[in-house]
Structure 1
Amino acid sequence: MTAFDVRLFSDEAAIRHVGEGLLARTLPCAKWTHEAHLAACLWLLRERSDIKVEQQLPDIIRSYNESVGGVNDDSQGYHETLTQFYISTVKAHNAEQAELDLLASVNLLLRSKRGKRDWPLRFYSKEMLFSVRARRELVPPDLLDTPHI
């Protein structure tokens, strides 16, 4: 597997394991991949309506990062703009694919353009997206507006 191969999920239990491990802060750090971020977000939207993702996921991720020895600072850890961007992306995907079961929807998202690691760079320059400001607060895209995420 190369660094950019998509790691699909084999079953819904694996998706739930990631989501529940994130919430419980028991997921091994090595399992907190790009794909896991997107799968956990979709799982939260579908199965944990008690969690208001836009408001609560930032603190959930920060707390998880710290629990595995990570740091949330100006250069590593939690990234507000990326988190909110992907929440919007996952919500749009979920609205379009509501009839699919969780596994099919997650894997479809991961194989789509929206699931790519570089998807935000269609809307943000690298300089903007990886700035301290974008890490700390939600910044608007500087290349292309995102109403069609």
Structure 2
Amino acid sequence: MEHEPRLFESDAAVRHIGEGLIGRSLARTEWTHEAHLAACLWILVERPGIVPERDLPAIIRRFNESVGGINDATQGYHETITQCFIRGVRAFLARCDRALPLHEKVNRLLAQPEGRREWALRFFSRERLFSTEARLGWVEPDKRPLERGDGASDA
């Protein structure tokens, strides 16, 4: 069953997610799939000093720990999913109208294939994506390649 994304009503709502993630002030219940993507897009658009591929793993791990989460081989931060979705957000932004307000960019991303929860499964089998190896480090896709800047292409 397809999940309907929770949309953002304002740029301030998107910034609240991004700033709350970085500042570790976001409520754990607010850290949804949509929030992950909104934070990533916000960082790419408004925080040029942060390199998501390099910096987001530590940011997410620190946030998880701040709300009582554990980052280990079975729970918490997931490297392959994070890196895969960063590529997807970058691909979306490359074709998105730069003049759109921040929240409209996020909402349009959430309506695109790379905004969907299941998107990474286009490239990875469920077994590979949810393996311990994939959680702890980047693993290459086993279904089809995921190229930088080409994350939104269909099979």
TM tier relative to shorter chain = over 0.9
**Corresponding position of 2:142:** 142
Using the alignment, how far apart are the partners of 2:142 and 2:74 within structure 1? Answer: 20
Match of 2:116 in 1: 116
Shift in alpha-carbon separation, 1:64–1:3, aligned structure 2, 3 A: farther
Structure 2 distance, partners of 1:56, 1:113, is: 25
Letter in 2 for 1:123: F
With normalisation by structure 1, the TM-score equals: 0.96
Q: Which amino acid aligns with 2:69?
A: G
Structure 1 residues 123 and 51, CA gap change in structure 2 (3 angstroms): same
- What is the alpha-carbon distance in structure 1 between the residues aligned to residue 88 and residue 146 of structure 2? 9
Counterpart mapping for 1:25-104 below 5 A: 25-99=24-98, 100-104=100-104
1:4 Cα offset (Å): 2.0
Cα gap change, 1:97 to 1:55, in 2 (>3 Å): same
Q: Which moved more, 1:96-105 or 1:28-37?
A: 96-105
- How many Å apart are 1:3 and its aligned residue? 8.5
Distance 1:143 1:69 in 2: 35
Superposed displacement of residue 98, structure 1? 4.3
Quote the Cα distance in structure 2 between the aligned partners of 1:59 and 1:83. 11
Tell me, in whole angstroms, the C-alpha distance in 2 between the residues paired with 1:26 and 1:93.
28
In structure 2, what is the Cα distance between the partners aligned to 1:143 and 1:42?
A: 26
Q: 1:3 to 1:116 in 2, by over 3 A?
A: closer
CA distance in 1, matches of 2:23, 2:83: 21
Aligned AA (2:34): E
Runs (5+) with no aligned partner, structure 2: none
Secondary structure of the corresponding residue to residue 38 of structure 2: helix
Residue 101 of structure 1, CA deviation: 2.4
Structure 1: gaps of 5 or more residues? none
RMSD between aligned residues = 1.3
Aligned to 1:6: 5
Aligned residues: 148
User: Structure 1, residues 40-85: CA drift from partner, whole Å, max 9, x if none?
Assistant: 0000001000111110100000000000000001111000000000
- Cα distance, 1:50–1:139 mapped onto 2, change above 3 Å: same
